[in-house]
Amino acid sequence: MTRAYNFAPGPAALPEPVLRQAQADMLEYQDAGASIVELSHRGPEFVAVASAAEADLRKLVGIPDDYAVLFLGGGATTQQALLPLNLASEGQTVDYVVTGHWGKTALKQVDSRLKLNVAASSESDHFHSIPARETWKLTPGAAYVHVTANETIHGTEFRHTPDVGDAPLVADFSSSIASEPLDVSRYGVIYAGAQKNLGPVGVAVVIIRRDLLERAGLPRAEIFNYGVHNKHESMLNTPPSWNWYLAGLTFKWMLAEGGVAEFARRSQVKAKMLYAAIDGSGGFYRNEVDPAVRSRMNVPFFLPDETLTSKFVSESKVAGLISLKGHRVLGGIRASIYNAMPVEGVRALVDFMHDFQKRNG
Ligand code: PMP
């Protein structure tokens, strides 16, 4: 068996020790006589898995006690729909800063009973930049301000937490959570689909300041209510237990590797190496994002034409570097280099890029 270096944007590569542990637990979890995926979520085995996962995530990300942590099915898009329902009341304004495809997706999930204000957008700049904070047109009394911390497709990343005054800052950290130290207390809500840095697809993490759970929000079913989910410790209904368990293993792996400080260091090394290869190629490879806000996690780049792009994708696959084809929205190439991607994987990609250019440049 050969495992390739997998640059997929999500579902993304999982650490091999996590997969091996899951493989070992697949037929029988500890002495339970069954796999964890076959056991009740209310039984002692899964309850222990769930609480260890929360404790480990709290330690990893540095989540203060006045924040609740929810593990929910439905991915990040569902949270984009639940956030407005839970945090805003009828007729209230919600502010959004749009810096890429996922910020635009978030806009589409806002309930029509609310007033949506796009406070800033870099769309006219093809999402190559993040609008300067001074240009944002925030609404006094807005229910919250939403940003996308890292844009997975367009490859932009906030390098600083913006100051938005009294409104809670709500941030989509799907593709960058746990990749560098984060001051959670600057945010009202941090949410993330797990399938990039935190583990497998099928579970999303919502880190929410407890006072926000008390907001009335819009009339909604219980299953869409964060406060009710919190009261039931994310087990209002059957949770995605296998995915939650795999995420828990991934948290343990990240802690054992040195935690977010270590992943921040590795991310710097990987991103620097890859952007240097692109910028040093004399224009053969191009990344058009403002260098001040280039993502450390998702690196989109372009070759001179479509033929070379297809050739790059097929030859890289043969070289053991998979899932490099860019998103259909942008085309080109995209390398996603999350926590589970080792430095050696990026080195192998950079070596391949040099070689490919030599043969085709
Ligand atoms: N936000 C970001 C930043 C993403 O990268 C993605 C998925 N790639 C989403 C939201 C949507 O996530 P999901 O598919 O889990 O709904």
Q: Residues with catalytic annotation?
A: 102, 172, 196
Q: Which class is 259-360 in CATH?
A: alpha beta
Choosing from 83, 101, 102 the residue with most ligand 1 atoms within 8 A of its CB, the one to mutate for a pocket test is 102
Choosing from 98, 104, 175 the residue with most ligand 1 atoms within 8 A of its CB, the one to mutate for a pocket test is 175
User: How far does the centroid of ligand 1 lie from the alpha carbon of residue 23, in Å?
Assistant: 27
Burial 110-142 (b: 16+ CB within 10 A, else e): bbeebbeeebbbbeeeebbbbbeeeebebeeeb
Please state whether the peptide bond connecting residue 200 to the residue before it is cis, i.e. omega within 30 degrees of 0. Answer: no
Please state the atom number of ligand 1 nearest to the C-alpha of residue 195: 15
- Residue 302: CB atoms within 10 A of its CB come to 18
User: How far does the centroid of ligand 1 lie from the alpha carbon of residue 118, in Å?
Assistant: 20
Give the rounded percent of residues in the chain with a pLDDT score beyond 70. Answer: 100
User: How far does the centroid of ligand 1 lie from the alpha carbon of residue 301, in Å?
Assistant: 20
pLDDT above 90 for 1: no
Show the CA angle centred on residue 271, arms to residues 269 and 277, nearest 5°: 105
Please state the atom number of ligand 1 nearest to the C-alpha of residue 173: 3
Which of 50, 337, 26 has its CA nearest to residue 205?
Answer: 50
CA nearest ligand 1 atom 3, residue: 174
Pocket of ligand 1 (CB under 6 A): 10, 75-77, 102, 148, 152, 172, 174-175, 193
Give the start-to-end residue ranges of the domains of the chain.
Answer: 17-256, 259-360
Length of the chain: 361
User: How far does the centroid of ligand 1 lie from the alpha carbon of residue 197, in Å?
Assistant: 12
17-256 and 259-360: identical CATH topology = no
Pairing between strand 189-193 and 204-209?
A: antiparallel
pLDDT of residue 38: 96
Pairing between strand 204-209 and 67-72?
A: antiparallel
pLDDT above 80 for 263: yes
Mean pLDDT of 84-88: 98
231's tokens: 């009261």
With H, G, I as helix, E, B as strand and everything else as coil, classify residue 79: helix
Confidence of residue 161 (pLDDT cuts 50, 70, 90): very high
User: How far does the centroid of ligand 1 lie from the alpha carbon of residue 10, in Å?
Assistant: 8
pLDDT of residue 2: 85
> Do the beta carbons of residue 208 and residue 70 sit within 8 Å?
yes
pLDDT in tens, 295-324: 999 999 999 999 999 999 999 999 999 999
CATH of 17-256, one of 3.40.50.1460, 3.40.1160.10, 3.30.300.30, 3.40.640.10: 3.40.640.10
Mean pLDDT of 69-97: 97
